[in-house]
Structure 1
């Protein structure tokens, strides 16, 4: 819990400090009000009290009431600021932690991925719940302490027993909340499934297939099963929360009865006026109410603080296998690449994705990488981009070991088009230039790229219905992704099945544009229509390079490439006939 308080405090220390000070003052005012009430009663009973003294006492009593009225809006103001700032702070820190990771390893670790999904879901309200519970508990604690100070002078033992009557409830609530948290972790898997299935059902890009194959009912059944499983666990938890406190509540009530009896028995011989006794009794009732708040909100602090344990682990644990280097390669010099004995296996897989890959690329060379699905092509690209760290073997770029390169600088010199490219619902210009977008500076170049990829919208057009922009087809999004890559003056251009949704004419034109670039080009592709334009062809199978040469040499070899070529083009010729 201390860890949680530290993280919350650091999110906005000035406002939280001010809020604590105001709450302390707010918590003391009711006790002051009751004390002044007692002073008024005592003054009325004492003939020696002057009118001036009585007026001062009544004035302080009125000021205490005014203070109660004025403090709450100020608390609401600071509490609102704290909750908004802290909530956005924690979500921002999770985003920052994600951005600080060089690789994709986080998503291949099952426990880390589930942790990330849990944090994404909980970050929107867990810090808020914690802050609210902390504020309410602290305020109730201050108010109860203030009232206890007033009551102790009448009966110390009775007041102490009344205060201690809350302990059984706190203990049982801790057990309830601990079980609730265990169920919450179990529910996270069902919750992830529910969000995923719900998202599929609402995603326009899936609806056509869902309608065609009648998946709607199947997805609804999966959603319902997960929801039912989660409901059953939480219903049992709520039943437990209903029944478990009953014995503790009875014990607490008996302790309160004993405390009040001792308290009033002590007052019986104190010769207090009836009005003073009413004030004391009201103080006991108020203190009990605040103690109950402590039992409720204080226990919630304990359970919600578990979020911060997971948050702390995610923020501080070392999970990055890719180590950054310091070397920066010169700009405008096409990369040469040498790969030797490269080996990589994904966690939980039975066989390696790459198993001793060897080949080289000369600076400015255009190389196509072919192979069946699962042959290791995309994994090889990910290692070249330092999305993963090789487990054995080496990669050098322009004579420098890959691990010695400054990753950010290195990646800025690479242009890529992936199969899964980003569809950013910003303007067209932002989609192409991204973080480098400056409309006035880049307008001419961006307009030329839009024309080159035959994109039909203007530079400042907003995209995506989420923000009231235009909806694009898959092919149009793909054109934007290609324009994004062409925007960079890269030393290495990588595209992985970049033209799957383009019409043949546009595909051929962009293919030729890319191969005409004065840079090193690597293309992962299954479409062999333009394959003769490459300087060299590398064929992969089961994580190894099995063929490496130009078009003519590989055709003469009559191996895997020869079979792929004839399988594809015999199929095309048969369809034409």
Structure 2
């Protein structure tokens, strides 16, 4: 009983929290939709009542052998046709309102999801599979669950109005009839509700299977994997994986849906017996002459409408239950706490940085993983260029994530001019950083917008955009297009597709457009460049990094010769630190890596 009470409180809280959210998204549409739908709830009763009057009038005329005059017949005819016409005319407007409302609700809630995601300052959520399971379920159902919540609420109101009016018509015949039918329906409501909750929770628990299905579909239906799928003949393999995930998801859902259908249909028999008894009682009364023909017709139609709307009321309530469970999950997402503590407003960023950036006995481990960095200590001095080398998994990219505060150290500190990085204003700190990451973004925007993403001021400052284009050496690329900087890029929306090297140069321009940044991060900045472009880039390296503290992560050791210092990472530890010549003289890990690459060119 205590669990039921807690569940009811949670359900009610989520429902009442949803109402102002829906109202904020589209107040005008909601007002009109509610008004139209509730008005439609009165129309069946009006139609039934007019039908009764018509039948009784005709029966009286036949029994008395009097002719029906136009004065009697026309008002009844107009009323009956008018009620029917109103129902027909209002439906298209209600559907149009629902369409407009759905658009606004989807946009409003999607923006709320994005706004919440914006508040996550680190990457812990985005590298957690459970986060994606939860988010995918919210995204997949955002187009219909919020609208259905409102639609079901309104339909509940309409059904309730119709039920009340029908009860008013039935009570003069027999007050107990609506009561018997309602009582006979209660067990069906309770059982269906319980199964509805179980089905939703099972769907949420199985969302990893749904996400795998979506992933396998994207592998088969997007250009990213099209070449390998065809070359290695992988279509059947991924279709098999999709089918396995589908069967895992479908099996549990099919079992629960079957049980829900069985109990609902079994308990519906009880409701049918209630209707049958009421119908027998009225017919028996009519044979005794206690009810007029119109009253019998009124009873039959009212009972039909009552049963239909009671079933509709139950159905809407069950669907509303599912909608509220979705909204509860949505609110849980909105209420989720931020894992990284922030200092607000935080200390100001030293401009310029004078003593440097110091890693002090830094350790870091990812959730459910071993140590990625162990006891890292060094100082980046203002204006110097440091190259970081090491095998895959040595911790190079993790070090950059800590420097950009996409994660905090598990142990140890990062100091900027002696101030703990955790105490600085995070937004201002990231404005001091620019760079190119190995997995840089390829955005389906214009060329100009792709560059300006590094500093949105460039959209209004052509000289800043021109500076970045020249720095990244893509002047010829821009001039090649008839529409220049306004050329749409990417296949998604019919834009021009660039080569891998051209995209990487565009990413470099995006880094350089943040002109005032003090820290430049280059994570494999030439991975997609051809040898000539790479050579030209490194010839200009000193010019490009002038006035900035630069970190260069690369596997191509020839490019580290221009660095002031070289850090060698291995298994998460900083094992060497020095210039190229100093490290070669030591004959340790760096020398081994250098000689391995040098042999490839002999």
Give the TM-score normalised by the residue count of structure 1. 0.90
- 1:530 and 1:537 mapped to 2: Cα distance? 11
What is the match of residue 492 of structure 2? 466
Structure 2 equivalent of residue 494 of structure 1: 521
Distance 1:43 1:59, change over 3 A: same
Alignment correspondent of 2:141:
122
For residues 104-149 of structure 1, give each alpha carbon's deviation from its aligned partner in whole angstroms, at most 9, with x where no partner exists.
Answer: 1113444333212222222233223333333333322221222112
**Structure 2 counterpart of 1:506, from 506, 522, 533:** 533
**Aligned match for 1:342, one of 326, 344, 362:** 362
Tell me if structure 2 keeps the 8 A contact 1:334–1:491.
no
1:272 shift after superposition: 3.3
Q: 1:84 aligns with which of 99, 103, 107?
A: 103
Match of 1:400 among 391, 414, 419: 419
Kindly report which structure 2 residues correspond to 1:384-399, keeping only aligned pairs within 5 A, or say none. 384-399=403-418
- Please list the CA deviations of residues 276-324 of structure 1 after superposition, one character each: whole Å capped at 9, or x if unmatched: 2212221111111111112222212112322112111111021432424
Give the corresponding residue for 2:320: 301
Match of 1:154 in 2: 173
1:310-459 matches, within 5 Å, as 310-326=329-345, 327-329=347-349, 336-349=356-369, 351-434=370-453, 436-437=455-456, 441-455=460-474, 456-457=477-478, 458-459=484-485
Return the offset for 1:100. Answer: 1.4
Tell me by how many angstroms 1:335 deviates: 8.2
Comparing 15-24 and 402-411, the one that deviates more: 15-24
Kept in 1, the 8 Å contact 2:489–2:497? The answer is yes
CA gap 1:155/1:435 in 2 versus in 1, 3 angstroms: farther
2:572 is the counterpart of 1:543? yes
Q: Is the 8 A contact 2:360 2:378 kept in 1?
A: yes
| Contact 1:474-1:501 within 8 A present in 2 as well | yes
- Structure 2 Cα separation of the partners of residues 105 and 555 of structure 1: 38
Match of 1:12 among 14, 23, 28: 23
Say which of 571, 574, 584 aligns to 1:555. Answer: 584
RMSD: 2.9
Q: So what's the TM-score if we normalise by structure 2?
A: 0.87
- Output the CA distance in 2 between the equivalents of 1:9 and 1:197: 38
Distance (whole Å) between structure 2 residues aligned to residue 297 and residue 547 of structure 1: 68
2:45 equivalent in structure 1? 31
- Between 1:69-78 and 1:279-288, the stretch displaced more is 69-78
Distance 2:36 2:338 in 1: 41
1:532 aligns with 2:561: yes
Q: Tell me, yes or no, if the aligned pair for 1:368 and 1:525 is still in contact at 8 Å.
A: yes
Which residue is equivalent to 1:22?
A: 36
SS of the equivalent of 2:492 reads: helix
Distance 1:203 1:78, change over 3 A: closer
Question: Where does 1:38-77 land on structure 2 (aligned, <5 Å)?
Answer: 38=52, 63-77=82-96
Gaps of 5+ in 2: 1-10, 479-483
Q: CA contact under 8 A between 1:334 and 1:364: conserved in structure 2?
A: no
Provide the secondary structure at the position in 2 that maps to 1:394. Answer: strand
Whole-angstrom distance in 1 between the partners of 2:537 and 2:311: 71
**Cα distance in 2 for residues equivalent to 1:125 and 1:25:** 24
Rounded to whole Å, the distance in 2 between the matches of 1:62 and 1:204 is 58
Does structure 2 conserve the Cα–Cα contact (< 8 Å) formed by 1:324 and 1:403? yes
How big is the shift at 1:415? 0.4
Q: Structure 1 pair 453/535, CA: closer, same or farther in 2 (3 Å)?
A: same
